[in-house]
Copies of this chain bind each other. A is one copy, B any other.
Amino acid sequence: MSTGHAAFEPPLSDRSTWQAHDRCSIGRAMQVVGSRSAMLLMREAFYGTRRFDDFADRVGITEAAAAKRLRELVDAGLLERTPYREPGQRTRHEYQLTPMGRDLLPAALALMQWGDGYLADDEGPPIVLRHADCGAPVAVEIRCAEGHDVPMHELRAGRPRRG
């Protein structure tokens, strides 16, 4: 029983009483953006990429794979495929973020932050994000509604109120 497994202990260490297999939001989220290419396409969308070929090129996957994943992301509601026209060009379609897609940003940044910390090579992380207003580097943090930073061992899990 050693030490140091800290999280979520008191109310939920007997996890066997609440089988959340299929209802778990992490599981559901992973079904939507749980492939490398899907999350990378979302990264490109965050960077402002909108055109099909750019998605495929920048993510580094084939057009076939990009087409399939983009369609799934559109179907799931993270991206919207809308027509647009550049002057002197014919009408094309662009993929742009929906609110649902935009709200995935914290998850993407959290993964990036973790990868920066543990998976980067000698050169360090390829990019850093800063706050436009003050120039300070940004980070993903866990906080409560009262504004406290919440370390892992201060987290408690419970059932939501019905209503």
Give A residues with C-beta under 8 Å from B: 1-2, 4-9, 12-13, 15-16, 18-36, 39-40, 43-50, 54, 58-60, 77, 82, 84, 86, 94, 96-97, 100, 102-121, 123-134, 136-146, 148, 150, 152, 154-160
Q: Which residues of B contact A8 (CB under 8 A)?
A: 46-48, 129
Q: Which residues of B contact A114 (CB under 8 A)?
A: 25, 29, 103-104, 106-107
**For the complex formed by this chain, how many copies does it contain in all?**
2
Do the beta carbons of B29 and A111 come within 8 Å of each other? yes
Do the beta carbons of A160 and B5 come within 8 Å of each other? no
Of B18, B44, B106, B160, which contacts A141 at CB under 8 A?
A: B106
Assembled-state Cα–Cα distance A34/B31 (Å): 10
Sample (17) of A-B pairs whose CB atoms are under 8 Å apart: A2-B84, A12-B127, A15-B44, A16-B58, A19-B58, A34-B35, A102-B152, A106-B113, A109-B142, A130-B158, A131-B148, A132-B156, A138-B142, A138-B150, A138-B155, A139-B144, A143-B143
Assembled-state Cα–Cα distance A126/B128 (Å): 35
Of B54, B103, B143, which contacts A138 at CB under 8 A?
A: B143
